[in-house]
Amino acid sequence: MKALALLAALLLAGCSGWQSALDPHSSEAAQLAGLFWFFTAVCALIWIAVVIALAMVLLRRRRTPNDAPEEEHPMAARRKTTIVTGLALSTALVLLIFGLTSFYATRGITWYDTQTITLKVTGQQWWWQVEYQNQDASQDFITANEIHIPVGKPVTLELDAMDVIHSFWVPSLMGKKDLIPGRKNFITLKADEPGLYRGQCAEFCGLEHAKMAILVFAEPQDKFEAWRRHQIEAAKTPGAPERLHGMDIFVHRQCASCHSISGTDAGGQTAPDLTHFGGRATIAAGLFHNTPDNLDRWLANPQQFKPGSNMPQVPLSREDRAALVAYLEGLT
């Protein structure tokens, strides 16, 4: 009974909240949800009609005493032909209506305006690189796995992939769009209300496909602008000796060959930019909440939590790892 209640709670939780196509928070997502409910309602009606027709046929059959084939009356034969033709035509009509409504609904939402492009999202195995681009290159910055957007403003994302095909899907805001290596795709996000919207890679892209989440923070314009300005700044050199030691480890051990932290000598280009890592909500593309304990667990053995990812286990003493955690968590 308890297990059943838990299952019901899980199922219900799946239907609303921060990652659900049935809980739309933009007009585009609302259109897609409307399409879903329209298809579901029509299919449910057809299913009920079929079940009723089946029951009627079975009941009538039982009333016929012998199994001898009914004599085909010309009137009855004509009626059967009319019914079958009518059903075939209505099937075609329903399919036509489905085709047209989904065509117009999806065509209406897949607009984009290259004038509003502010960011480029590149799918990697298995994380998202996010580049905020500006006409003034000094305003550019790179982050990972978390996107901030101003509420009510359309933000166009240019989608690309480094390795294999991924799919960008933040269901409460928009439908899916693939990220294909060597091809530019575009998607426009516009959140109607502030909030945190979770997304997930929606195209199987390898071992850790399921651990490739993206978070979209829709914020009021001034909060977004403050965040944006802060992201442009280089990381501050720490004052505390432990954090300085952590920075030294980061820059002079393996970390810097893959990760970048602006304002330091760490300039690796193949892993997430960590300049403002401490300000992010999660670690490793939504795998853990970003807390010192979780970061310590992650650094101690990344392959235990995300097997197959490019993050290696760097042999560090407990003290060195604590210093590294202190340094990274301080990069707000």
Contact status: 214 vs ligand CUA (CB under 6 A): no
User: If you search the block for the tokens 């984009």, which residue do you land on?
Assistant: 112
Contact status: 126 vs ligand CUA (CB under 6 A): yes
Minimum Å distance from CB 131 to ligand CUA?
Answer: 18
Contact status: 203 vs ligand CUA (CB under 6 A): yes
Residues facing 146 on adjacent strands? 215
Specify burial of residue 307 (Cβ count, 10 A radius: 0-12, 13-18, 19+). exposed
- Taking the least distance from each CB to ligand CUA, the nearer of 150 and 175 is 175
Please give the angle made by the CA atoms of 276, 235 and 156, to the nearest 5 degrees. Answer: 45
Contact status: 166 vs ligand CUA (CB under 6 A): yes
Cα–Cα dist 214/297, whole Å: 21
Six-digit token string for 240: 């505390």
Contact 109, 177 (CB under 8 A): no
Cα–Cα dist 278/150, whole Å: 21
- Taking the least distance from each CB to ligand CUA, the nearer of 126 and 224 is 126
Minimum Å distance from CB 309 to ligand CUA?
Answer: 12
- Taking the least distance from each CB to ligand CUA, the nearer of 143 and 264 is 143
Minimum Å distance from CB 164 to ligand CUA?
Answer: 7
Minimum Å distance from CB 259 to ligand CUA?
Answer: 20
Of 113-121, 202-210, 242-250, 273-281, the segment contacting ligand CUA by CB under 6 A is 202-210
Of 201-209, 222-230, 260-268, 298-306, the segment contacting ligand CUA by CB under 6 A is 201-209
Residue from 176, 209, 223, 253 binding ligand CUA (CB under 6 A): 209
Tell me the three-class secondary structure of 62-100, residue by residue: HHCCCCCCCCCCHHHHHHHHHHHHHHHHHHHHHHHHHHH
Cα–Cα dist 324/299, whole Å: 9
Minimum Å distance from CB 63 to ligand CUA?
Answer: 57
DSSP H/E element including 236: none
Cα–Cα dist 136/113, whole Å: 19
Minimum Å distance from CB 127 to ligand CUA?
Answer: 9
Interactions with ligand CUA, residue window 297-326 (CB under 6 A): none
Query: Considering CB under 6 A, how many residues would be counted as binding ligand CUA?
Result: 9
Contact status: 212 vs ligand CUA (CB under 6 A): yes
Specify burial of residue 32 (Cβ count, 10 A radius: 0-12, 13-18, 19+). buried
Minimum Å distance from CB 212 to ligand CUA?
Answer: 4
Identify the CA nearest to 109 among candidates 184, 3, 34, 46: 34
Contact status: 204 vs ligand CUA (CB under 6 A): yes
Site string for ligand CUA, 85-124 (x = CB under 6 A): --------------------------------------x-
Residues at the contact surface with ligand CUA, assessed by CB under 6 A: 123, 126, 166, 201, 203-205, 209, 212
